[in-house]
Amino acid sequence: MSVNVYLNPVGMTGPQSASDAALPLAGGGLRFSACEVSRRSLESPADVSRGVLAIPELAAVEGAQAWLERLAAPRGVLAGLAMDRPRVMGVVNITPDSFSDGGARFDKNRAIEDGLAMWEAGAEILDLGGESTRPGAEPVPIEEEQRRVLPVVRALAGQGCRVSIDTRNAATMRAAVEAGAAIINDVTALTSDADSLATAADAGVPVILMHMQGTPQTMQKNPRYDDAALDVFDFLADRVAACESAGIARERIVVDPGVGFGKTLQHNLEVMDRLALYQGLGCPVLLGVSRKSMLGRISRGEPAQERLPASLAAALAGAQRGAQILRVHDVPETRQALALWQAVTFARAPGPASGAPATG
């Protein structure tokens, strides 16, 4: 039986407690000492067997060496940002129907003001969108999308902010980059618009490819997978390959497994648990879970504005699995939580005092 093999790094620690055989995850501070090995039948994709092997044991697994090289290789600089630690992307929705803020930033002046506040609070990317992609949302005419976002892009980029344009329309990508956007973020992984691949290639800026099953109108109507984490991986691998064929170098690509987009709660949890799997694509990984409805379903049904604690927990779960970009609504709170996580994860035990023997 023919199989595909996938490696999901596990046993993640900081460098101070890593074993000699451990490898750096994506060239960052985390180390992994073992991998969950998934073997998937090509004839029956739902037939998946899993087991955990320490890194030395992986030498006997066909294809594992290439996987390990991709998992361990450092990621390049993205729009001026080193991808060696988690970076915070602040969400600025310039829409009247955002699920997260109820349209509070539909006024462009409010959007600019809040974007600057996020930047000053420590956001390293500001993700601007003029079309809601919440479940059931209807498309927005391109002219209206651009009317909403372009003045905000110009204002924030003009203030020195690193701006990402969240759009699935090639014309808006082009106009936003001309207005100062430094990154293109497409929830359809450059599939919605026939001109998107060429536009992104010509723009020369990094692109974020997200997985979504269906469209915002259909994505939550009984989504199905043979294996959620692996199906998402295969989709993203295909899109990375399509981008490379179009002239977009892998060094310019970020992948996003699309939590909440065409997935049940269980699918989302499986994808989040195996988030380090996507480092096998050789690209930085973005995680966006902030304020999403799954957090309320796991907890007590809290509305979006009351999901901060769960949003922080999700961000830290992503950081522990190697996510390089965390897309969030609550920037200062996330920066504070990450500061504590980094201090603990990468703390080094003090060496022996001068003249004192080392012990243990």
What does 258-327 look like in DSSP terms, one character per residue? Answer: -TTSS--HHHHHHHHHTGGGGGGGTS-BEE--TT-HHHHHHTT---GGG-HHHHHHHHHHHHHTT-SEEE
Of residues 232, 149, 139, the one with CA closest to residue 189: 232
Pairing of the two strands 183-186 and 163-166: parallel
| Beta pairing, strands 3-10 & 163-166 | unpaired
Which residue among the candidates 105, 292, 307, 321 is catalytic per the annotation?
292
CB 284 within 8 A of CB 330: no
Active site residue 327: yes
Token duo for residue 57: 């044991």
Using a 10 angstrom Cβ sphere, with 0-12 exposed, 13-18 middle and 19 or more buried, the burial of residue 337 is: buried
- Assess contact for 78 and 284: CB atoms under 8 A: yes
Q: Is the dihedral of CA 89, 91, 92, 94 positive or negative?
A: positive
Our answer to whether residue 292 is catalytic in this structure is yes
- Order of strands across the sheet with 3-10? 3-10, 34-41, 48-54
3-state secondary structure of 35: strand
180 Rama class: left (phi>0) / alpha (psi -120 to 50) / beta: left
State how far the Cα of 94 lies from the Cα of 315, in Å rounded to an integer. Answer: 23
What stretches of 147-256 adopt beta strand conformation (E)?
163-166, 183-186, 207-210, 253-256
How far apart are the C-alpha atoms of 312 and 291, rounded to whole Å?
9
Given the residues 105, 252, 327, 335, select the one marked as catalytic.
Answer: 327
Q: Where are the beta strands (DSSP E) in 204-264?
A: 207-210, 253-256
Beta strand extents in 55-167 (DSSP E only): 87-93, 125-129, 163-166
Active site residues: 292, 327
